Chains A and B, each alone.
Chain A
Amino acid sequence: MFQVVADGLIIGSVISLGAIGLSLTMAIVRFSNFSHGELLAWGAYLALIVSSLMPSTATPIGPFSFGWGLMVSMFASAAGTALLALLLDTILFRRLRKQGSITLVIASFGAALMLRNVLLFWQGGVPQYYSQNLQIAMPVLPRSFHGGLRFTPDQLLVLVLTMALVTGLHLFLRYSVLGRSMRATALNPALARVTGIDPERVLRASWMMGGALAAVAGVFAGITVQLRPTMGVDLLLPLFAAVILGGIGSIWGAVLGGLLVGLAESASVTLAGAEYREAAAFAVLIVILMVRPNGLFGEKA
């Protein structure tokens, strides 16, 4: 049982980071961005490309499966993906903003298909990995105790880094001027404007933050599972479920939602088999829509 929870937390970490960015754009830019999953995929692959340019840094650090090269690449990828998100807005979403949220959703669907297929075309369909080094799971609790609990070092790192990132993000949104401006814009765009908050600046910031977080999530997914060109679309439903569960615009909601969806997926693997993972996210979505469509911490109806 503990293992199910632990695995759920790992899956959930990836989903949480992606969901935060998605929740921000849904609250500030005000549409459901179906290309957000592709930002995770591109983030993961960009890190792969960059790290392959520095083969000497691939030597694993300590017990982890990857070397410094990957960590550096992750930062580079975060920057690159942030720019990619901004680029998407500039050439596509910005022009369609006047046409309403549904047009933006349609456009994002189209952008997602293009991004995914460019990736497929470029990288091929075979799964890839950051490192060929195998990881040995470290037992934390023995198997005799309710099935035991084991973590690989990579998984622990992902968990710790996710918590650190989320905490940092919370502090940023709570105390920095830009962060508070973003929250204000999500709450009440017109009032934010007359208060002196530049809506374009907030928009750019939310795209870039969303892109950067997605890239990190993608790298984490690549570390803990694998890289596939379809990894973006495979995560899309869990991402949306997490955002809606947590409530649009709420960072902690997205985090909690992500963890809960991760747990649901992990539980479904145990109960119904690994093939039904994606159906678990759908089940979570249906339940929250039936019970509490605003989500747990929804800031805006």
Chain B
Amino acid sequence: MVDALVIEALEAGYEPGLPIVRGASLNVQAGEIVAVIGPNGAGKSSLVKAVAGLVPVSAGRNLLFGKDITRTPAHRMVFEGLAFVPQTENVFVNLSVAENLELAAAVVKGDAQPVYEVFPDLYRQRRDLAGRLSGGQRQMLAVARGLIARPRVLILDEPSAGLSPKMAVQVFAKLREVRDSGVTVLLVEQNVKAALALADRAAVLVEGKERIVARCADLLNDDRVAELYLGRRT
């Protein structure tokens, strides 16, 4: 069984000589939820953006179900089966909910209807302007948009950022639903407890490289995680 996503010794960053991601490696198996956690500035966002093609890669490679997508441009990713949900500005605020989803569908020659079935609230709000939605609803729209292309792997950058705890719980519940429907999920998360509760496995990223990769159940009791966050040497 080939892994859904393999990140191999990845080096990436906006400036050519200054990589933020420094040799990170991670395997994500099909059908699991993997969380990337770590202190601020560790490069979690840059890591997933590099996989999605938004940050230039200088070394290493990314494999999607065995296919090398390291050099694939960002706009081709959805056609390869990989969808990315950015942290901020993740919906087109001047378009309605329906316009957001229908555009995404039109681009991949897909259909928005199946997604509406997973997100009935969005169907009710389909005529509303995306910019007028609440934070939580906007996040749902962003995730829904990511699912339009029927990806095999969904990557999210801090999906609970800026959300109330109640909304965050709803978003995470939705992500569990998404995984249960067969989509592999990789997410960056700042909220450690919530991440460990949601995911199957987690990777702790520090200074651009993964330090621990283990099952969440094990990590919940692992002191090393706290130490890495607080900066003490392991």
Contacts and interface: CB of A to CB of B under 8 A. Distances in A.
A and B touch in the complex (CB under 8 A): yes
Contact of A194 (B54, B93, B94, B99): B54
B54 A180 contact: no
A198 B85 CA distance: 17
Contact of B92 (A191, A196, A198, A199): A191
A196 B79 contact: yes
Interface in B72-115: 73-79, 83-86, 89-95, 99, 103-104, 106-108
Contacts of A194: 52, 54, 74-75, 77-78, 83-86
Given A190-B86, A199-B75, A181 B103 contact: yes
A89 B54 CA distance: 23
The DSSP consensus for interface residues of chain A is: helix
A79 interface: no
A218 B51 CA distance: 46
B202 interface: no
A177 B105 CA distance: 10
The DSSP consensus for interface residues of chain B is: mixed
A129 B96 CA distance: 48
B93 A187 contact: yes
Contacts of B76: 196
- Place the interface of chain B in its size category: 20 to 34
B34 interface: no
Considering residues B54, B84, B93, B103, which has the most beta carbons from chain A within 10 angstroms of its beta carbon?
B103
B149 interface: yes
B201 interface: no
Interface of A: 177, 180-181, 183-184, 187-188, 190-199, 299
Nearest to B84: A194
Considering residues A181, A184, A190, A194, which has the most beta carbons from chain B within 10 angstroms of its beta carbon?
A194
B86 A191 contact: yes
A194 B92 CA distance: 12
B3 to A, nearest CB: 22
A201 to B, nearest CB: 9
15 contacts: A177-B106, A187-B94, A190-B86, A191-B89, A191-B90, A194-B54, A194-B85, A195-B75, A195-B104, A196-B76, A196-B77, A196-B78, A196-B79, A196-B108, A197-B107
A196 B83 CA distance: 9
B25 to A, nearest CB: 23
Given A184-B92, A188-B92, A193 B103 contact: no
Contacts of B145: 195
B54 A196 contact: no
Nearest to A198: B75
